[in-house]
Structure 1
Amino acid sequence: MFKTFLLASAAALALGLPAAAETVFKSRLAGHAYLSALTLVAPPADAPRDALVSGKFTGKVRNDRPMSAPGDVGPAYGSHATGISLPLIGQPVQGMSGFAMNRADDGSVFTLTDNGFGTKANSPDALLFFHRMKPDFAAGAVERLDTVFLHDPDRKVPFRIAYEGTESRYLTGADFDPESIQYLNGEVWIGDEFGPYIIRAKADGRVVAVYPTLLDGKVLTGPDTPGIVVPAAPGKDFRVQRSGGYEGMALQPGTNRLWAMLEKPILGDDGEPEGDFLRVITFDTDKGEWTGDSFRFKLADGAAAIGDFNFIDETRALVIERDNGEGDASLACAEGAQDKSACYPLPARVKHVVLVDTSKVDAEGFIHRIGHIDLMDIDDPDGKAIPEIVAGRDLNGKFTFPFLTIEDVMRVDDTHIMVANDNNLPFSGGREIGRAANNEFILLEAGDFLNAR
């Protein structure tokens, strides 16, 4: 499906070695904590009453009856029920879609909830917000310290929002799909998938500016960008794939530049993906403008998208890359199976945390890949895992992270990283058939990986 990584192959040939896959580093589970899947927050008191019940528009017709429409993972994944029904009373904290590199003064982590229920059309009653959270790996729990709702009272958003006529102008999943977050000098910078845009906001969630994307001097748009009228010609009227905007956006220490990485390959003039690589475009937060520089991240064989992107020093960074599978491969459905109630039609196979060096870029603009950790092969000799791992194989001493969307990674210290999932509530499982995935946070000891160059 995808070619082998160009730089790794070239380096291997230069050393007289076979063109093999890049180095895979071992990791050990040092902690495991989770926030329950069904975790809800109340909307702000001045939000429209419409926001008191969320998920009313996820079906074919409006549904105002709370908890009346059972969620499932969809036909491509076996239509397994998740045990949670829509609409919800309150707003779902649901899956985490990004970690900020910088922490709050109290050491808590800034993390982000995405657009709500997956699309622009079904999320007009899903408010947009970010959080401060503190995972407690000793207790196996995650404490939500604060939730901040994005709002636009100063009308900085350059298009009509869902709650346009309200005084507080809270943003919803019909306006943006926030997928990546950074915290800098008391402000948050958020990468959006719909535009794709970069959103700048105060720590209280008040929008300061919204920046359209420029690549090679031209504005990048997608099928959900306001102003794009469907039917539109992919590759001509828009180049960013649906759900292909800024899934990862890293903040570079020492420069205050954002390295915004698109989730999927952009489209060429023929409407087809331009290659098995992702564009990375840099933004100067001091000037509030794009630098004009762009780079490429090569996807590994079998990977379809990325989930998060964070620097660990001035030049090296972590990237999550993944396939579109969920569930342990030992429970994969047999070829041609009609009954998929107890198996995974598309099991998880490629779930990596990749270490890259942005100071090493080849002539074609590809960022150097140093190596990766396999999240489907984590050592757990100390039995740190909390839930029982459901699989059709012996996983004694092993731990896997078999979720569809793994969208959070950050350096914790010189030897540890933290990873978390987006559980797409109530539409994803992965850990166990028939149960919605929790918001899991894992602490991995990976000193050799973090020190690699």
Structure 2
Amino acid sequence: MRLTLALLATCAALPAHAEETFPATLAGHAWLPALTLVTPPADAPRDAWLSGKFTGKTRNDSAMSAPADTGKNYGNHPTDLSLPFIGQPVQGMSGFAMNRAEDGSIYTLTDNGFGSKINSPDALLFFHRMNPDFTTGKVQRLETVFLRDPDHKVPFRIAYEGTEGRYLTGADFDPESIQVLNDEIWIGDEFGPYIIRATADGRVISVHQTMLDGVALNGPDTPGTVVPAAPGKDFRVQRSGGYEGMALQPDTNLLWAMLEKPLLGDDGTPEGDFLRVMTFDPASADWTGDSFRFKLAEGAVAIGDFNFIDATRALVIERDAGEGDAALACAEGATDTSACYPMPAKVKNIVLVDTADRDAEGYIRRIGHIDLMNIADPDGKAPEGMKPAEGPFTFPFQTIEDVMRVDDTHIIVANDNNLPFSGGREIGKAANNEFILLSVPELLAAH
């Protein structure tokens, strides 16, 4: 009996299911230069021709006059770029749509601009069609569509309220995820968080507030949240914690909207190491009432994208907040961080989940993952200057926010480069928009 009890105790201490780590091989690499700019529409306010004027402590109308850096947490490394920009920055990609355009190009989008409501009122919001060419290593931008609200569907005052075009800006929404359904665009926003429905040419059709268990979810940047506001009571969504991932489920056409960070509990602290997932029905333009949970791996603090690969299985990017090659990590206690990374990238995973397999608490089963900090490159696909100091190829960016299935063996992953505030690949240089093609047959075949 003692032996049996001891054995049971040992079994109870073991994990119920050990998640498998699958290999990943670099099959292609393409990139869009960091400083890639587009001109605003002809009928946009003149204000939009100089973007990033409010990223400092005071307004700055002098083009390219304020050098940018990565900030204290990342070593204050210069990025060799200066604000404000003449035109609008294409900057990092913040989501891939599952379905491609008729010509095979990828629908992707740029986020709110420079990181917050306060500093982005002159950053226009738009999505793109892009085509990464893994033979030439170049990314072609085929089309850019600007979001606008001519029919006054946005339920609050927008930054360009009194203008004729009523173009949306980063002071209005933070678009982070995109899907295409029936020739319409569905966008997940972080500020509300909201789901935005728009036409293919960028006109807003409707805006939908988030509901969980019959109660509206708000964040500190939701219109109507005013200071002083108590975290966990007046708002439960963390800042920059809205819809970083929003997957379109085949067959059902339901949108599975996943929050980037854990919700706050009544005490103002995260309710756990998991993220909420709510389902929205575009056909009825309403929430289904169902919600689920995605458990983060140890060390992960947020997700970056979420896309189905078949009727029930999906890919999720989970990540820590680190940036840069671990081989160039700063020594503990270092005061000079000019040539090292004080918080290097460690946890950057692409996780395969089965949304149809859930436990009694609603946790979606994690099948396995690949490690983006350990990518084999036997054929030397990584361009010169983008290889790590030592070891395998890595994707060491703070915000990796795009993943989609290509075929039965390949996926594409891309980063949001937070222009001009993120580095990661090379100290002293702004991160480019990198698109990597990965061969991951074992991951995609797993069940």
TM (normalized to structure 2)? 0.96
Q: Supply the distance in 2 between the matched residues of 1:60 and 1:53 (Cα, whole angstroms).
A: 17
Partner of 1:401: 395
Task: Select the residue among 242, 247, 250 that pairs with 2:247.
Answer: 250
Say whether residues 1:428 and 2:425 are aligned partners.
Answer: no
Q: Supply the distance in 1 between the matched residues of 2:11 and 2:431 (Cα, whole angstroms).
A: 43
Q: Supply the distance in 2 between the matched residues of 1:91 and 1:389 (Cα, whole angstroms).
A: 26
Do the aligned partners of residues 13 and 170 (structure 1) sit closer, same or farther apart at CA in structure 2, a change above 3 Å counting? farther
Q: Which amino acid aligns with 2:304?
A: G
Partner of 1:415: 409
Q: Which amino acid aligns with 1:136?
A: D
- Contact 1:302–1:350 (Cα < 8 Å) also in 2: yes
Give the CA deviation at 1:386: 1.4
Give the CA deviation at 1:391: 4.1
Give the CA deviation at 1:21: 4.7
Partner of 1:356: 353
Give the CA deviation at 1:18: 5.9
Task: Select the residue among 23, 36, 40 that pairs with 1:39.
Answer: 36
Q: Supply the distance in 2 between the matched residues of 1:150 and 1:50 (Cα, whole angstroms).
A: 16
Give the CA deviation at 1:388: 2.3
- Contact 1:390–1:432 (Cα < 8 Å) also in 2: no
Q: Supply the distance in 2 between the matched residues of 1:25 and 1:46 (Cα, whole angstroms).
A: 50
Task: Select the residue among 280, 304, 309 that pairs with 2:306.
Answer: 309
Give the CA deviation at 1:19: 5.7
Say whether residues 1:321 and 2:318 are aligned partners.
Answer: yes
Q: Supply the distance in 2 between the matched residues of 1:185 and 1:438 (Cα, whole angstroms).
A: 32
- Contact 2:64–2:82 (Cα < 8 Å) also in 1: yes
Q: Supply the distance in 2 between the matched residues of 1:321 and 1:206 (Cα, whole angstroms).
A: 32
Q: Supply the distance in 2 between the matched residues of 1:253 and 1:17 (Cα, whole angstroms).
A: 36
Task: Select the residue among 174, 177, 199 that pairs with 2:171.
Answer: 174
Q: Supply the distance in 2 between the matched residues of 1:36 and 1:273 (Cα, whole angstroms).
A: 37
Partner of 1:294: 291
SS at match of 1:378: coil
SS at match of 2:210: strand
Say whether residues 1:213 and 2:210 are aligned partners.
Answer: yes
Unaligned runs of 5+ in 1: 1-11
Task: Give the root-mean-square deviation of aligned CA atoms.
Answer: 1.3
Runs of 4+ in structure 1 displaced over 4 angstroms? Answer: 16-21
Give the CA deviation at 1:169: 0.2
Q: Which amino acid aligns with 1:363?
A: A
Q: Supply the distance in 2 between the matched residues of 1:39 and 1:451 (Cα, whole angstroms).
A: 37
- Contact 1:327–1:403 (Cα < 8 Å) also in 2: yes
Map residues 86-105 of structure 1 onto 2, 5 A cutoff.
86-105=83-102
Q: Supply the distance in 1 between the matched residues of 2:423 and 2:384 (Cα, whole angstroms).
A: 13
Say whether residues 1:267 and 2:264 are aligned partners.
Answer: yes
Q: Percent identity between the aligned chains? A: 77
Say whether residues 1:150 and 2:111 are aligned partners.
Answer: no
Give the CA deviation at 1:330: 1.1
- Contact 1:259–1:283 (Cα < 8 Å) also in 2: yes
Q: Supply the distance in 1 between the matched residues of 2:385 and 2:68 (Cα, whole angstroms).
A: 23
Partner of 2:201: 204
Listed one character per residue, the Cα deviations across residues 343-368 of structure 1 (whole Å, up to 9, x for unaligned) are 00000000000000000000011000
Give the CA deviation at 1:387: 3.6
Give the CA deviation at 1:230: 1.4
Q: Supply the distance in 2 between the matched residues of 1:21 and 1:196 (Cα, whole angstroms).
A: 34
Say whether residues 1:63 and 2:60 are aligned partners.
Answer: yes
Partner of 1:8: none
Unaligned runs of 5+ in 2: 1-9
Q: Supply the distance in 2 between the matched residues of 1:389 and 1:182 (Cα, whole angstroms).
A: 30
The number of equivalent residue pairs is: 438
Partner of 2:442: 448
Do the aligned partners of residues 437 and 379 (structure 1) sit closer, same or farther apart at CA in structure 2, a change above 3 Å counting? same
- Contact 2:198–2:204 (Cα < 8 Å) also in 1: yes
Partner of 1:188: 185
Partner of 1:341: 338
Listed one character per residue, the Cα deviations across residues 108-133 of structure 1 (whole Å, up to 9, x for unaligned) are 00001000000000000000000000
Q: Which amino acid aligns with 2:177?
A: S
Q: Supply the distance in 1 between the matched residues of 2:16 and 2:153 (Cα, whole angstroms).
A: 50
TM (normalized to structure 1)? 0.95
- Contact 1:419–1:441 (Cα < 8 Å) also in 2: yes
